[in-house]
Amino acid sequence: MLDPLADVRSPQDPACDVYLTGTVFLDVIFTGLDSAPVRGTESWARGMGSSPGGVANMATALARLGLRTSLSAAFGDDVYGTFCWEELSQGEGVDLSLSRTVPGWHSPVTVSMAYEGERTMVSHGHQAPPPAAALSATPPPARAAVASLTPGAPQEWVARAARGGSLVFADVGWDETGRWDLATLPDLRHCEAFLPNAEEAMRYTGTACPRAAARALAEHVPLAVVTLGAEGACAADGRTGETAEVPGVPVEVLDPTGAGDVFVAGFVMASLARWPLARRLAFAGLAASLSVQHFGGSLSAPGWPEIAAWCHRVHSCPALDPAVGCRYAFLRALLADRERPLPLRRAVPTIGFPRP
């Protein structure tokens, strides 16, 4: 696999590139629905897939980009939990040495229905028992850590990761309280970068546009990145004052599940590779765009062969927008020996299918 950090690695680096923790779900995804389900009727989907979800979306996206990824999570000892563990450890090469199987705990499950470029989800699960003493929340040495901030719920491991030298990249969940107060996100002070979507960013800053929101957030965190969905992303660097904005890559959307996680993974990788800000935004947006063309949150994440195939198509087809090819010309040298794509595994209709 291509190592995107080969040029910046040294013998003193930690063995782990990225650490993350959270809840793993089994995702069951229905696609090809003509509209949202209607009460009292039966809807038939033209497509279906099953894959690990939740924090597994991020872990898979990071691993597929060549980052050495460590995940700390609880897994049920049911068939669903076994399936998710094997997909992540054997299929994706995610390090699960800090994870554990919980006897008698059934895996959380999410059913996602994709239609009209949007999705509706129904989830079920129970709180996992607290980890044993040997599996504490102390993160391992790592170049970076990815956190999902929750308003009013600080996570001690975030501060420990930052003190240990990890660059912390964070997104945020919807503020159910309606306060939208940055003071409810105390972990933000430990973060290198904050990556909310446009609606979240504007609510937290009281601004009327995403660009202004990015500049306002950059007063609280070194790097603020605001995602704009299909329109791309914008960012502001609080250290240098630099700003950047990159449009999205137009694609046909099959299932947007996990696209935000793929964006964050792409931005983390590009940041660790020390790319310029505009290139980081462009790469993250490309990775997210490629992911929505397949169903399944984790198994839709693109790897380098798929990114190489897209670049080859863009640079060899004169009918395509030349501005797009120019924007991503920096990838050609990195992918020079990866012009022929290899197939990636995608979400399968049932967890009963054996691994090929």
Residue 339: its pLDDT value, please? Answer: 44
49 in any annotated domain: yes
Residue 274: its pLDDT value, please? Answer: 97
Average pLDDT estimate for 6-15: 93
**Among 165, 185, 163, 186, CA closest to 173:** 185
Residue 149: its pLDDT value, please? Answer: 96
Give tens-digit pLDDT for 250-304. 888 767 778 899 999 999 999 999 999 999 999 999 999 999 887 666 888 999 9
Q: Are 300 and 347 in contact (CB under 8 A)?
A: yes
Q: Which uninterrupted H or E stretch holds 102? A: strand 100-102
343 in any annotated domain: no
Q: Are 320 and 314 in contact (CB under 8 A)?
A: yes
How far apart (Å, rounded) are the C-alpha atoms in residues 355 and 345? 10
Average pLDDT estimate for 21-45: 87
CATH number at residue 204: 3.40.1190.20
Q: Regarding predicted confidence, which is higher, 240 or 294? A: 240
Rounded alpha-carbon distances, angstroms, from residue 22 to 12, 96, 152, 355: 28, 12, 17, 26
Average pLDDT estimate for 3-22: 94
Q: Regarding predicted confidence, which is higher, 191 or 104? A: 191
Class of residue 251 by CB neighbours under 10 A (exposed 0-12, middle 13-18, buried 19+): middle
Q: Enumerate the β-bridge partners of residue 236.
A: 224, 243
pLDDT at 356 over 60: no
pLDDT at 22 over 50: yes
317 in any annotated domain: no
231 in any annotated domain: yes
- Domain count within the chain: 1
351 in any annotated domain: no
Q: Give the up-direction half-sphere exposure of residue 142: CA atoms within 13 A in the CB hemisphere.
A: 26
308 in any annotated domain: no
For 243, the domain range is 16-35+45-124+138-302
pLDDT band at 245 (very low <50, low <70, confident <90, very high): very high
- Name the token pair of 255: 């299932």
Q: Strand order of the sheet with strand 142-149?
A: 69-72, 16-21, 142-149, 167-172, 193-194, 223-227, 233-237, 243-246
pLDDT at 337 over 70: no
Give the least confident one: 67-76, 142-151, 324-333: 324-333
225 in any annotated domain: yes
- Name the token pair of 321: 């927008």
Residue 89: its pLDDT value, please? Answer: 95
331 in any annotated domain: no
